[in-house]
Chains A and B, each alone.
Chain A
Amino acid sequence: MSMNHLAEKQKKHSPAGNDIPDEWFKPKEKNENDSEKVVRPSLSYWQDAWRRLLKNKLAIGGLVFLIFLTFMAIFGPMLSPYSVSESVRANQNQPPSPSHWFGTDNLGRDVFTRTWYGARISLFVGLMAALIDFFIGVIYGGIAGYKGGRTDNVMMRIIEILYGLPYLLVVILLLVVMGPSLMTIIIALTVTGWVGMARIVRGQVMQIKNYEFVLASKSFGTKTSRIIRKNLLPNTMGPIIVQMTLTVPTAIFAEAFLSFLGLGIQSPYASWGVMANDALGTILSGHWWRLFFPAFFISATMFAFNVLGDGLQDALDPKLRR
Chain B
Amino acid sequence: MEKLLEVRDLEVSFLTYGGEVQAVRGVSFDLHRGETLAIVGESGCGKSVTANSIMRLIPQPPGRITNGTIQFKDKELITLPENQMRKIRGVDISMIFQDPMTALNPTLTVGNQLTEGLKQHTSVSAKQAKQKAVELLDLVGIPNPEERLSLYPHQFSGGMRQRIVIAMALICEPELLIADEPTTALDVTIQAQILELFERIQEQTGVAIILITHDLGVVAKIADRIAVMYAGKIIEVGTKKEIFYQSQHPYTKGLLNSVPRLDRREGKLIPIDGTPPDLFSPPAGCPFTARCPKAMEVCDRVYPLETKLSSTHEVECWLQDERANKLLASK
Contacts and interface: CB of A to CB of B under 8 A. Distances in A.
Interface of A: 5-6, 8-10, 12-14, 16-17, 20, 22-28, 34-40, 55, 322
Interface string B257-279: 00000000000000001110110
Contacts of B281: 39
Interface string B15-36: 0111000000000000000000
Contact of A20 (B18, B277, B302): B302
A22 to B, nearest CB: 6
A contact face: mostly helix, strand, loop, or mixed? helix
Nearest to B315: A9
Contact of B323 (A5, A25, A37): A25
B146 to A, nearest CB: 40
26 contacts: A6-B322, A9-B320, A13-B305, A16-B305, A23-B297, A24-B298, A25-B296, A25-B323, A25-B326, A26-B296, A26-B327, A27-B295, A27-B297, A27-B327, A28-B297, A28-B299, A34-B274, A35-B274, A35-B291, A36-B274, A36-B275, A39-B281, A40-B18, A40-B278, A40-B280, A55-B17
A39 B280 contact: yes
Nearest to B320: A9
Interface of B: 16-18, 273-275, 277-278, 280-281, 289-291, 294-302, 305, 307-309, 318, 320-327
A9 B302 contact: no
A28 to B, nearest CB: 4
Contact of B297 (A12, A26, A34): A26
Contact of B309 (A9, A17, A22, A27): A9
A10 B309 CA distance: 10
A16 B298 CA distance: 13
A16 B304 CA distance: 10
A9 B309 CA distance: 7
Contact of B298 (A8, A20, A38): A20
A25 B298 contact: yes
A6 B291 contact: no
A154 to B, nearest CB: 27
A27 B294 CA distance: 7
